[in-house]
Amino acid sequence: MKDRGYARLVILYGIYFLGLGATGFTGVYLGGKGMTNSQIGLLMSIPPLIAFVFQPIWGMAGDRARYKRSALSLCFLLSALACLLIDLSGSFLTLLVSFTVYNCVSQGMSPLAQSISIEYSRNTKYGFGPIRMAGSIAYQLMILLAGFILSDDMPELYRIVSVCYFISAAFSLAVPPVRGHQHDSEKLNPLSVLKDKKICFLLCMSLCGKTASMFGVSFFNKYIQELFADNVRMSILAYTAIVLEIPFLLLSKRLMKSFKVTVWVLIGLAANAVRFIGIGLFTSFPLLIALQLLQVSVMACFEFYPSLYLDRRVQKELRGSMQSVNTLVTFGLSQITGSLLGGFIADTAGIQHTFLIYGLFLTVMCAVFFLPARRIDMEWQND
């Protein structure tokens, strides 16, 4: 690859997603520290709620910085230090404080990296897909290895995450110097993107899908460990959930032309309704593997396509802010509606039955959004 800037973005995504892949086992990590389902739900939801105020700030920092990579590097550095704080925590209260610090400083990683990558790749022949694919490969590698190399309760987890983020902080200074478009121009309110009703509708659709997804992120690995008492099976199922991401990303440009973005979100709602209802009804290991293959729709339909569309929808001065607001809604709010509420339901009904409840919720939301989404599609054609 002759484009060194593009190659550096590919490498950065690989390092970053190694750490992100490890955080997928946070539920197991917290269970090993003696936390109950309700406490895990609180630890996975209250910190993002407190960190809400920081999400637009990171987007605004990227848009107003001379180069967005400076804000990204700082975000990685602070996140790495916060991971060490988590590693030193043992009680519910100290974990709550350390996870709150982590969420406040890590809110900018995804939107800033995404904003830089999408904007830079727009002028290349490769597009954003291969960059995101590097992240998927690294994520899959960490998911696959974690069950084999880490001990049962994974006490080393956040030390590994910290190392990945320290390396990312240093390497992010070498990525292409994409400018913050508000650095030398009028300063705009990052929340002004919410004045667009069609953007708000798309965010609401994605929020419903990510609500169920965040419950799965918080509790699926813990549920599988309790069901089979086997870290290897847990890693196999976690790997199966993301193995189709690479084929999808290779075909993403071609597939994107097949449907409007709202149709992709509807497909995601339907696919995850089937997946969650299946997990709620069956415990067969081969059947769970088949159901986990549907998880590719989370990345494709609630994250990848909406992010590309939203980046084109807003003016260039607000692209970083738009990705931050998107992350705020689909990753921040969804952790409250998914992890917090789901944790309390799981303590009462059990994790498996909670999967069934969220599956029925997705089915209802798919029906509710169907006609309005079709109407919005017709209006977008006239924009």
pLDDT band at 183 (very low <50, low <70, confident <90, very high): very low
CATH class of 4-174+190-381: mainly alpha
pLDDT in tens, 314-325: 777 677 667 777
Q: Which residues of 104-123 are buried (b: 16+ CB within 10 A; e: fewer)?
A: bbbbbbbbbbbbbbbbbbee
Q: What is the mean pLDDT of residues 277-305?
A: 91
Query: How many alpha carbons fall within 13 Å on the CB side of residue 371?
Result: 3
Integer Cα distance of 33 and 28 in angstroms: 9
Mean pLDDT, the chain, integer? 84
Domain ranges of the chain: 4-174+190-381
pLDDT of residue 284: 93
- Residue 184: closest CA among 74, 313, 58, 63: 63
pLDDT of residue 370: 92
Q: Indicate whether 127 pLDDT > 70.
A: yes
Give me the count of residues in the chain.
383
pLDDT of residue 91: 92
pLDDT of residue 380: 61
Q: What percent of the chain has pLDDT over 90?
A: 30
Q: Indicate whether 191 pLDDT > 70.
A: no
pLDDT of residue 260: 86
Secondary structure class of 152 (helix, strand, coil): coil
Sign of CA dihedral 270, 271, 277, 280: negative
- Residue 235: closest CA among 171, 142, 168: 142
Give every CB contact of residue 59 below 8 A, 6+ residues apart in sequence: 108, 111, 112, 115, 190, 320, 321, 322, 323, 324, 325
Integer Cα distance of 125 and 140 in angstroms: 26
H-assigned helices in 65-186: 68-88, 92-106, 109-121, 129-149, 157-171
Q: Indicate whether 184 pLDDT > 70.
A: no
Asked if 102 and 62 count as a contact pair (C-beta separation under 8 A), the reply is no
Q: Which residues of 22-36 are buried (b: 16+ CB within 10 A; e: fewer)?
A: bbbbbbbbbbbbebe
pLDDT in tens, 192-241: 667 778 888 888 999 999 999 989 888 888 888 888 867 778 778 877 88
pLDDT of residue 381: 58
Q: Is 57 exposed, middle or buried (0-12, 13-18, 19+ CB in 10 A)?
A: middle
Secondary structure class of 25 (helix, strand, coil): coil
Q: Is 347 exposed, middle or buried (0-12, 13-18, 19+ CB in 10 A)?
A: middle
Q: What is the mean pLDDT of residues 166-174?
A: 93
Per 3-state DSSP, the chain is made up of helix, strand and coil in percentages (nearest 5) of 85, 0, 15
pLDDT band at 290 (very low <50, low <70, confident <90, very high): very high
pLDDT band at 161 (very low <50, low <70, confident <90, very high): very high
Q: What is the mean pLDDT of residues 248-253?
A: 82
Q: What is the DSSP letter of 180?
A: P
Most confident among 65-69, 270-274, 377-381 (mean pLDDT): 270-274
pLDDT band at 147 (very low <50, low <70, confident <90, very high): low
pLDDT band at 124 (very low <50, low <70, confident <90, very high): confident
pLDDT in tens, 24-77: 888 888 988 888 888 888 888 778 777 777 766 766 766 777 788 888 999 999
Q: Indicate whether 297 pLDDT > 70.
A: yes
